[in-house]
Chains A and B, each alone.
Chain A
Amino acid sequence: MTHLAVSKTYKLFIGGAFPRSESGRTYQARDNKGNFMANAALASRKDLRDAVVAARKGYAAWSKATTYNRGQVIYRIAEMLEGRRTEFIELIMISTGASSKEAAEEVDTSIDRHVHYAGWTDKLAAVLGSANPVSSPHFSYSAPEATGVVGILAPTGSPLLGLISVIAPVITGGNACVVIAAESDPCVAMTFAEVAATSDVPAGVINILTGRISELAPHLAAHADVNALDLTGTSVELRKALEQAAAETVKRVYVPKGVPDFMVAPGTARLRSFLEIKTVWHPTGALSLSGGSSY
């Protein structure tokens, strides 16, 4: 007897759960030859708003987690990706037509990126912060903190590496995110959501929507409870309107200079784009008891 394959229903990833779109809408994901792969949820404005609410809650938990804990959780994502390596290679091959070697390279690089970022969480303050030698009797320091909720438009191209290259630096800094996956690759994106859901990432820290960027992005850019935007996955035409919408609430906006090459080891530009620097002052008294090294 032949086995009739059980095909998967791809849903959204919001607040740690996998709901269908409240709109009941779906769209068809197709492989690189144009054949039907699966139905994916066509997220609505309401789904997006729900995702922002979930992200705000996720941010509250995640930004308070210790840097050691955040590092361990991001490392856990690498472990879970490694465990599902074969599945991702196959999915990428079907979806994009990549060779098995190319697909394996993409998955392995994606795993390594998480290891890289896992090691960043407890070093950001040392690298980007400072003890400030102020000229008054005060102890003053500056340290990075998460910006808050980041809206991300994921790039097309490498469906896994592109996606994780925009998510990982955002969550490494303690932010939560609402990601609109590349329209053409919902299957890889939602399979990654399953990895996130089983990696001890607190609910709401990563939220992933599938659907039409042109429909969802303007609402994401205008949402008053979104603090920053990563426009990596937008067309040049859409970018200007989104940046204009973002200006209404003075959002931080990251726009890459060209098409990023995510196979190259990342610098710190993405990390820094979603961090605030907070400076704290505390008096030491005119006569420092610590012998003049009080800053």
Chain B
Amino acid sequence: MKWEYSPAPESRAIADIKDRYMPFIDGAFKEGGGEDRDTINPGTGERLSTVSTVNAEDIDRAVTAARRAYQNVWSTMPGAERGKYLFRIARAIAERSRELAVVETLDNGKPIKETRDFDVPAAAQHFFYHAGWADKLQHLGLGRAPQPLGVAGQVIPWNFPLLMAAWKIAPALAAGNTVVIKPAETTPLSILVLAEIIADAELPPGVVNIITGAGDVGSTLVNHLGIDKVAFTGSTAVGRRIQRELAGTGRKITLELGGKGANIVFEDAAQDQAVEGIINGIFFNQGQVCCAGSRLLLQESIADEFVERLKQRVETLRVGDPMDKNTDVGAINSEAQLSRITALMDAGIAEGAELWSSSCPLPKNGFYLSPSIFTSATPSMRIAREEIFGPVLTTMTFRTPDEAVTKANNSPYGLSAGVWTEKGSRAMGMAAALRAGVIWDNTFNRFDPAASFGGYKESGFGREGGPSGLAAYLDTDDEAVAQ
């Protein structure tokens, strides 16, 4: 059957993209001392806007402003009042949700249906959830009056720009800290719209400072002596470097790093449901998700049939204009990311895995890749070990549940895993045996501010969301010290 769709583009007018954006320091948008950077619309490959970036002095100013706001206002304000500011921000995100969704899609390349239905509402919910904790920290089980850490330096990635900003800012502020946060250089716009919301909410100046620029700015920030806490989401390579650089400083760190999530399908799984889950697991956000289910482990008895069903379904995914409401798979975030993905795909072919790609047509301009599936892969191949961070699934097989566990756990990463089976005891048993921070039984890529998220092993440490996410922003060391 041939499905035809008419184009259903969302209007970009509501985004009102400005020609130039500026960093947000000490409550005001100010010209940065660094070089201007263009930000590209990955859906078209064209310049979207220009962003003024910061230099070392700007970072000093931001950290100083955050310290002043921490000492004079934020740490002394009653928790209930802090919470009210966060509730305001949550409400304002919801009010400007369509605008934020369009900005995010234009700057990031992900489909409008995802920004509209997931990124933006989830960001609002994160503020709303954490707002409620601000006056209830004594109920976390971390003592009668848990204390904030001070100024948090935060660096976030480009795959969920607004949502990651919410994941970082909301718990930090609820716990009584102030922040200096740096978005990724390819996706600075949505957080700068959030800055407008923060300003409109009359959050005291300096409580949230947003600095723009590339990796060097992030590196200067996390190594700044005025910072008490570092939170980073991004690659394991950079996370490792940050941990090494901060050695001996006693600074509290949260790292949310890479993954190579196993998605395990047993022969008794509800196959149609599993196919949908596998697709969500690897093609959601073009597979540019740290917890993506990028390793498909199929029980041998159903492997061939399942791969056929999967390919048939992937063929129906609509790849293309991120602004089209019918688009399932949008653009890769940048040309650089696209070439990293294709380089790893080439390695997969060279190592002998079999590549299949959807025959969907791709737009001429912009950064696109057909959803792809590798079969006949072995655990030692690079495509089975390394994070591809793109719409590329690596398929392997297993015979017994024990073998599935061994293969799934055979990774330096441990962020997520999925299990597909109709047998409840097996689902729970697998959930216990898998060494990963998030396990999805018969579902995948579910997130909620009430549920902690974070990795085992080299996927990082510390949690975001839930009570343990707040612990990451509080002084929880309760060991007595000899004087």
Contact = CB atoms under 8 A, between A and B. Distances in A.
- Does B bind A? yes
Interface of A: 127-128, 130, 132-136, 138, 140, 142, 147, 227, 236, 239-244, 246-250, 252, 255-261, 264, 266-270, 272, 276-283
B454 interface: yes
Contact of B248 (A134, A142, A243, A257): A243
22 contacts: A130-B467, A134-B451, A138-B446, A140-B446, A142-B466, A243-B244, A247-B241, A250-B461, A256-B477, A257-B479, A260-B479, A261-B481, A264-B480, A267-B478, A268-B478, A276-B437, A277-B463, A279-B438, A279-B439, A279-B452, A281-B441, A281-B451
A257 B468 contact: no
Interface in B424-483: 427, 431, 436-443, 446, 448, 450-454, 456-461, 463, 466-468, 471, 476-482
B446 A249 contact: no
Contacts of B482: 258-261
A261 B456 CA distance: 30
Contacts of A128: 141, 468
A132 B451 contact: yes
Interface in B242-290: 243-244, 246-248, 250, 255, 257
A226 to B, nearest CB: 11
A203 to B, nearest CB: 22
Contacts of A258: 481-482
Interface of B: 125, 141, 143, 236, 239-241, 243-244, 246-248, 250, 255, 257, 412, 427, 431, 436-443, 446, 448, 450-454, 456-461, 463, 466-468, 471, 476-482
B450 A250 contact: no
Nearest to A228: B461
Contacts of A135: 125, 448, 450
Contacts of A247: 240-241, 243-244, 247
B450 A132 contact: yes
Contacts of A142: 451-452, 466, 468
Contacts of B477: 256-257, 269
B450 A133 contact: yes
A136 B250 CA distance: 39
A280 B439 contact: yes
A146 to B, nearest CB: 10
B439 A243 contact: no
A281 B439 contact: yes
Contacts of A260: 479-482
Contacts of A246: 243, 247
Nearest to B459: A250
Contacts of B250: 255, 257
A55 B450 CA distance: 35
Nearest to A248: B240
A114 to B, nearest CB: 18
A277 B452 contact: yes
A280 B441 contact: yes
Nearest to A238: B248
B53 to A, nearest CB: 28
A239 B478 contact: no
B170 to A, nearest CB: 16
Q: Which 5 A-B pairs have the closest CB atoms?
A: A267-B478, A240-B248, A243-B247, A264-B480, A247-B243
A128 to B, nearest CB: 7
Contacts of A240: 247-248
A277 B437 contact: yes
Which of B450, B471, B481 has the most A CB atoms < 10 Å from its CB?
A: B450
A194 B175 CA distance: 46
Contacts of B412: 249
Contacts of B471: 272
Contacts of A244: 244, 247-248
Contacts of A134: 446, 448, 450-451
A142 B468 CA distance: 9
B478 A279 contact: no
A188 B361 CA distance: 73
B16 to A, nearest CB: 30
Contacts of B247: 239-244, 246-247
A241 B244 CA distance: 9
A257 B481 contact: yes
B125 A250 contact: no
Contact of B427 (A255, A278, A282): A282
Contacts of B427: 282
A278 B239 CA distance: 21
A283 B443 contact: yes
A256 B481 contact: yes
A94 B427 CA distance: 56
B479 A267 contact: yes
A134 B481 CA distance: 39
Given A278-B437, A280-B439, A136 B481 contact: no
Contacts of A255: 250
Nearest to A275: B468
Contact of A136 (B437, B438, B446, B479): B446
A248 B257 CA distance: 13
A242 B454 CA distance: 24
B446 A130 contact: no
A276 B456 contact: yes
B446 A266 contact: no
Nearest to B456: A276
Contacts of A132: 448, 450-452, 466
Given A244-B244, A250-B255, A255-B250, A278 B481 contact: no
B403 to A, nearest CB: 16
Contacts of A270: 479
Nearest to B468: A277
A173 B476 CA distance: 18
Given A130-B467, A250-B255, A269 B244 contact: no
A115 to B, nearest CB: 19
A127 B457 CA distance: 23
Contacts of B476: 269, 272
Given A247-B243, A259-B482, A281-B439, 7 more contacts: A243-B244, A250-B459, A257-B481, A277-B468, A278-B439, A281-B438, A282-B427
Contacts of B244: 243-244, 247-248
B460 A250 contact: yes
Contacts of B248: 236, 239-240, 243-244
